[in-house]
Amino acid sequence: RAKSSDDQQICLYDKGMDDTIRKRRQLVDELRLAIQGDQLELHYQVQMNVPNETVAGYEALVRWNHPTKGMLPPNVFIPLAEQTGLIVMLGEWVLRTACHEAASWSSGLPVSVNLSPAQLTTPNFVEQVQDILLESGLAPQRLELEVTETTFIADQKKAISVLERLKALGISISVDDFGTGYSSLAMLRAFPFDKIKLDKSLIDDIDNNYKSKGVFRAVLSLGDALSVPILAEGVENKEQLAFLLEHGCQLVQGYYYGKPEPFSAPGKVTFVEPDKKKIS
Ligand code: C2E
Ligand code: MG
Ligand code: MG
Ligand code: MG
């Protein structure tokens, strides 16, 4: 529908904006229903302890099985959930589901769950976590919560106190996407972390870029100095793995070892217990 006059072009532009807003609103409504209904699911990605080739645990990653759009990745709806406050409900669903599913794994391996900043400052968050652990029967030592640096920008004091209460329950805390934020070093000093997850962007060209190598070595020695283990995210090939191992990084997560995949409860068709999966 080609239009020639300027007026009509402005009209078209406005209509486009309208469309965007309408579509966004619709997606928000659909997401609310998806959380309350059964359209969300968790996929799990393996975390390897490389030197002895054992599974260290699994990270739970949420997907939205949308009725018409198919399986949507989190980058399509997590930001939307965060902007609209739906993240609190979504996050609670993720935590509950991950704890229940992990409680049924015969391996007894730990599960990592991503937290959005808003969850941590939800009133009674610690009690909520405690309740979910109790009802699912998952030992707190098997739960790892992943937080990002943005969590600490808003209210440091509050965040520290919540993390400390979670740790007192036996839960461990990882800092996710390390190296992508703004206050990494100050934050490492102030917060009680049990693990640092190094962002994929710092791993990507590690096998052929001397600057990436340098940054990586520096972070490893930082981990060493703080006695906090480093996990490398997004490892895709042998060359990267070789470099990591050579420098003493033992924990690895990435497509090289496996993509996130669904864990289905017994009774469903595609039963593959992730911890029983052969790692090669
Ligand atoms: P993340 O927590 O850093 O999770 C790792 C992401 O990197 C996952 O993407 C994973 O599939 C991807 N990945 C892992 N290894 C590789 C690799 O070798 N190559 C490549 N190209 N990608 C790799 P995913 O599942 O799309 O999740 C994206 C982000 O969405 C997560 O990043 C996390 O920040 C967020 N997210 C996912 N699930 C949840 C959730 O339940 N709650 C919250 N708040 N955020 C979530
Ligand atoms: Mg994560
Ligand atoms: Mg990450
Ligand atoms: Mg992340």
Residue 236 CA: which ligand 1 atom is closest?
Answer: 18
Predicted confidence band of residue 9 (pLDDT cuts 50, 70, 90): low
Rg of the Cα trace of the chain? 21
Quick one: how far is CA 142 from the chain centroid?
Answer: 16
pLDDT tens digit sequence for 48-63: 999 999 999 999 999 9
pLDDT the model gives residue 70: 96
Place of tokens 């996710």: 176
Ligand 1: nearest atom to the Cα of 235: 18
Expressed in angstroms and rounded, the spacing between residue 14 Cα and the centre of ligand 2 is 38
Atom 2 of ligand 1, residue of closest alpha carbon: 114
Cα 177 to averaged position of ligand 1 atoms, centre (Å): 10
Structure tokens given for 102:
């992990």
Give residue-wise pLDDT tens across range 105-117: 999 999 999 999 9
> Which residues contact ligand 1 via a Cβ below 6 A?
45, 61-62, 73-75, 78, 91, 94, 114-116, 146, 176-177, 233-236, 253-255, 260
Q: How far apart are CA 31 and CA 79, in angstroms?
A: 12
Which pair of structure tokens corresponds to residue 241? 């793995």
Q: Quickly list DSSP for 105-163.
A: -TT---EEEE--HHHHTSTTHHHHHHHHHHHHT--GGGEEEEE-TTHHHH-HHHHHHHH
Q: Which residues pair with 58 in a beta bridge?
A: 46, 111
Binned at pLDDT 50, 70 and 90, residue 11 comes out as low
pLDDT digits (tens, 9 = 90+) for 81-129: 999 999 999 999 999 999 999 999 999 999 999 999 999 989 999 999 9
Within 8 A by CB and 6+ apart from 270, the residues are: 262, 264
- The candidate with the shortest Cα–Cα distance to 194, out of 153, 147, 151, is 147
Residue nearest atom 43 of ligand 1, based on CA coordinates: 114
Site to substitute for ligand 1 among 44, 47, 61, most atoms within 8 A of C-beta: 61
pLDDT per residue as tens digits for the range 197-245: 999 999 999 988 899 899 999 999 999 999 999 999 999 999 999 999 9
Question: What is the ipTM, given to two decimal places?
Answer: 0.98
98: its two tokens:
């991950």
**219 contacts 178 by C-beta, under 8 angstroms:** yes
